[in-house]
Structure 1
Amino acid sequence: MVLENQMPWCHARLYNDGMPRSMQDAVSSAALHAAKNDVNAKVIRDCIESRVQDLLSSPVPAAPLDVIARLHALFIYQILRLLDTDARVRLSYDATMPHLEAAAYALLQHITFHESATPGQANHAADVLPLYPISATRDFWEAWVFQESARRTLAIVLSFLMIYHYMKGEVLVQCGNNTFACRSVTLSAHLWRAGDPVDFALAWRNKRHFVVHGDESVPVTVVMEDAKSDDIDEFGKIFLTGYMGIDEAKGWLAMRGVTL
């Protein structure tokens, strides 16, 4: 995020028109953490923890971009805390988990999910996006950037939470809830990496994109049976590894010329 203004679940253009303060603080905290050493560790740790507390004490936002920014920020802080060996940080990590979960479910109301996929079939919208005039396609693309970032963010955060609850022995209840909440994501490197509305429209027209569903009504391997090496981005690798396990995913990807 610091170097490229993106994560596998946060599109590079999501905050293009303005990054909410919560994410500004989180990204700068990540940059501070990257510069941490034995000399400055305590000061940097205190700075990061102070920003976490500022975020937790701030009002819960209502605007969709602010809602996803709050979730992204909390997730970044939790990842940074996992990398810290200080026992006090671990206590703060545990105490923040309910806030992370609440932020994830707050985002849920702003997400539009896909309809169920047909086995073995890539998902395309019925309408072809126009190349000219481009305004309607630009609006569609900008909405897609938010929606797909939100769907991917929800998927990765709920997976993170499931692992956390599993370690606490709560997996059976949480797995069911989280699978229901995380209904679908799109796996398409072509759509995700499109740099402008024209490239997006061309990818929408000419490239396959695969919608996978959290309820596994159609297995991921069936939906993506015809996927090629250039269809799979970093999030796709993360998703497939979580679904199959490291060795199976590595083999499945290798058959398509992709390195895990």
Structure 2
Amino acid sequence: MAENRNLKKRACILCTRAKRKCDRQTPSCARCTAKGFMCRYPAPRIVPSYDIIYDEHGTFETVPATTALQGVQIFEEPCLNQDQSPSDPTNPIADTLIPVSNWGSDPLPSLPWYLTTSSWNLSSVPRSECLTFEEDNLKSFIRSLQNWMKQWTSHGHCAFIHRSLYSDHMPVVIQDAYTTLAAYQTKTPANHNMALRICKERLTTLIECQSLVSVNGDTTMHLSRTQALIVYISICLFDGDINARARAEQGLDILMPWGHQLIQSASSCSGLPATWNISDRGIPVPGEPTTTTHLTPCLDGNLDSFWRSWAYAESIRRTYLIVVLLVTIYSTLKTGWSGCPGGVTFTGDEGLWDASSAHAWKRVMKGVNEKVIGFIPIFSHRMGDVLANRKPADVDDFTCTLLAATFGRERLEGWRAL
């Protein structure tokens, strides 16, 4: 009971912004009720399972916190021995690998690993395997993120927004984020304040209009709003404007909970055709929404469905990792420490993400499956396994960026020189 009394409820968003006293009542405070406003409270802070401790030498390490991560399942991932082939029956993930010869033929009896429910579980490493990070490496990631933003506006895709993701339908929140980013990137000294003001207002509007909805909601909505918030925060945090930074820091309070809700939404809907309003052959149910069927369309055995389902799932994974890195890196650079919200699996094989079509993706996948390690996930919290088990030519730019943030450019270049 003493612990509960120490938990102080925060004022609602509108009262905080107006600098007015809030009685913190639910479902709506008295001020919002009187003015007819929609009352929303800040997202709850999720207790991390690991803390990052910053020392006087400019490095920090992750150490277990006293309280486990709330609301997110932590799991011990299966280990793949270097001498084990991905097709070996004793391989713990062998039953989730899909032979290339089966693509585009009969419906498959099981889902690939990237569509299984367990693949969305967040995980952490033992204390004995905690890593240290240097400040220069963290700043390097911020530069990489900004370069990816430029790639998105110039090419229509980047390291965490796949080219096929919004090819059929682009949600309004993504349209707003894209146009805002494009305007900001082409700003001049004369219109800089105008471009920044648009970004600040859209950041505020996004947060006010998007409530912390149930994880049973539309996963595409979760994904698009999270990506949009990443765009706005990345602009406002590093523009240099004090007010913009304050707005972005408010957004950071929302970003991590949205990231967790995104993962939870994907997990709850993976492998469940009924949840996604498709039949056992991947045919939309008349009269039902079909905006979030991408996580299970491979049940129809179509090659294009395989590619799109993988791209959709991978976009979710990479977006979550961007959320984790942006939140923890900024906190570390500002205050010297940050909690660690947990890692997720992703695909880092060279060529898969950049494949321009389903057939191009199939050709790359065939080559990946022919390699010794095969098509298996990378655990973001175990990036050292990439250095130990993979060759530099086998991983893509996104993976190398995570390696650089974790181990530094010097070690990355040493690995490439082997």
Q: What band does the TM-score fall into relative to the shorter chain? A: 0.7 to 0.9
Matched, 1:38 2:189: yes
Q: Hey, what does 2:240 align to over in structure 1?
A: 85
Contact 1:151 1:184 in 2 (8 A): yes
Distance (whole Å) between structure 2 residues aligned to residue 221 and residue 141 of structure 1:
27
Q: Hey, what does 2:360 align to over in structure 1?
A: 199
Partner secondary structure for residue 110 of structure 1: helix
One-letter identity of the residue aligned with 1:53:
T
Q: Offset of 1:205 from its aligned partner?
A: 1.9
Q: Hey, what does 1:95 align to over in structure 2?
A: 250
Q: Deviations over 1:205-253 (max 9, x none)?
A: 22254522134297231232xx252x33221221111221121112223
Matched, 1:144 2:314: no
Q: Hey, what does 1:129 align to over in structure 2?
A: none
Matched, 1:68 2:231: no
Partner secondary structure for residue 109 of structure 1: helix
Contact 1:212 1:223 in 2 (8 A): no
Q: TM-score, normalised by structure 2?
A: 0.50
Decide whether aligned partners of structure 1 residues 85 and 217 sit closer, same or farther in structure 2, where only a CA change above 3 A counts.
closer
1:243 to 388, 397, 406: 406
Matched, 1:107 2:270: no
Q: Offset of 1:4 from its aligned partner?
A: 0.9
Distance (whole Å) between structure 1 residues aligned to residue 392 and residue 244 of structure 2:
42
Partner secondary structure for residue 168 of structure 2: coil
Q: Hey, what does 2:133 align to over in structure 1?
A: none
Partner secondary structure for residue 193 of structure 1: coil
The 4+ residue runs of structure 1 with deviation greater than 6 A are none
Q: Hey, what does 2:389 align to over in structure 1?
A: 223
Distance (whole Å) between structure 1 residues aligned to residue 239 and residue 264 of structure 2:
33
Gaps of 5+ in 1: 113-133, 256-260
Between Structure 1 and Structure 2, how many residues are aligned? 225
Q: Offset of 1:254 from its aligned partner?
A: 4.1
Alignment RMSD (CA, Å)? 2.1
Distance (whole Å) between structure 1 residues aligned to residue 336 and residue 407 of structure 2:
22
Q: Hey, what does 1:118 align to over in structure 2?
A: none
Distance (whole Å) between structure 2 residues aligned to residue 251 and residue 7 of structure 1:
26
Percent identity at matched positions? Answer: 23
Q: Hey, what does 2:346 align to over in structure 1?
A: 185
Distance (whole Å) between structure 2 residues aligned to residue 83 and residue 36 of structure 1:
15
Structure with higher helix content: 1
Q: Offset of 1:81 from its aligned partner?
A: 1.2
Q: Offset of 1:105 from its aligned partner?
A: 0.9
Contact 1:211 1:223 in 2 (8 A): no
Matches within 5 A, 1:112-123: none
1:168 to 335, 347, 351: 335
Contact 1:141 1:200 in 2 (8 A): yes
Contact 1:52 1:74 in 2 (8 A): yes
Partner secondary structure for residue 2 of structure 1: helix
Q: Offset of 1:71 from its aligned partner?
A: 0.8
Distance (whole Å) between structure 2 residues aligned to residue 65 and residue 103 of structure 1:
12
Q: Offset of 1:100 from its aligned partner?
A: 1.1
Q: Deviations over 1:1-42 (max 9, x none)?
A: 111111211111111111111111111111111122221112
Distance (whole Å) between structure 1 residues aligned to residue 227 and residue 245 of structure 2:
19
Decide whether aligned partners of structure 1 residues 216 and 236 sit closer, same or farther in structure 2, where only a CA change above 3 A counts.
closer
Q: Hey, what does 2:379 align to over in structure 1?
A: 213
212-221 vs 185-194, which moves further: 212-221
Gaps of 5+ in 2: 1-151, 268-299, 369-373
Q: Hey, what does 1:130 align to over in structure 2?
A: none
One-letter identity of the residue aligned with 1:108:
I
Distance (whole Å) between structure 2 residues aligned to residue 34 and residue 164 of structure 1:
21
1:159 to 299, 313, 325: 325
Contact 2:304 2:358 in 1 (8 A): yes
Decide whether aligned partners of structure 1 residues 55 and 217 sit closer, same or farther in structure 2, where only a CA change above 3 A counts.
closer
206-215 vs 234-243, which moves further: 206-215
Q: Offset of 1:157 from its aligned partner?
A: 1.6
